[in-house]
Amino acid sequence: MANVSLDFHVAIAILAPQSLYSAKLYLVALLGTVSSSRYWRLPSST
């Protein structure tokens, strides 16, 4: 059981940074879509 809990903590230590990295990518993609939507709205407003 000790090995299982150790593997569980190791899995968390490995997956946690990946989830944070994917969250950062999601925020960057969200900001990118917002900025691109602003660029798309500029020609339509003019």
Query: Is residue 8 in a domain?
Result: no
Position 24 scores a pLDDT of 92
**Domain around 30:** 19-46
Three-state DSSP state, 44: helix
pLDDT digits (tens, 9 = 90+) for 1-46: 566 778 888 888 888 888 888 899 998 988 888 777 776 666 655 5
Position 18 scores a pLDDT of 87
Rg (CA), the chain: 20
Query: Is residue 12 in a domain?
Result: no
Query: Is residue 14 in a domain?
Result: no
Query: Is residue 23 in a domain?
Result: yes
How many folded domains does the chain comprise?
1
The model's pTM: 0.49
Please report where in the chains the tokens 């944070």 appear, as a residue.
20
Query: Is residue 34 in a domain?
Result: yes
In angstroms, the CA 38 to CA 13 distance is 38
